[in-house]
Amino acid sequence: IAVIVTGSNMGIGKETVLELARRGATVYMVQFKAEQNRLDILINNAGVMRCQRSLTKDGFELQLGVNHMGHFLKSSSSRVVIVSSRAHTRGTINVDDLNSEKSYDEKSAYNQSKLANVLYTRELARRLEGTGVTVNCLHPGQVNTEISRHMPFFQTFFGRYVFGIVLSLLIWLYVKTPKSGAQTTLYAALDPDLNGVTGLYFSDCKPKQVAPAALDANTAKFLWKESEKWTKAPKLY
Looking at the DSSP bridge assignments, the partners of residue 226 are none
Backbone angles phi, psi at 47, to 5 degrees: -165, 155
Residues catalogued as catalytic: 110
Q: Which of 71, 67, 86 is nearest to 204 (CA)?
A: 86
CA distances from 197 to 62, 128, 184, 192 (A): 31, 12, 15, 10
Question: Which residues lie closer than 8 Å to 39 by C-beta, 6 or more apart?
Answer: 2, 3, 4, 32, 76, 77, 78
d(CA 48, CA 65): 10
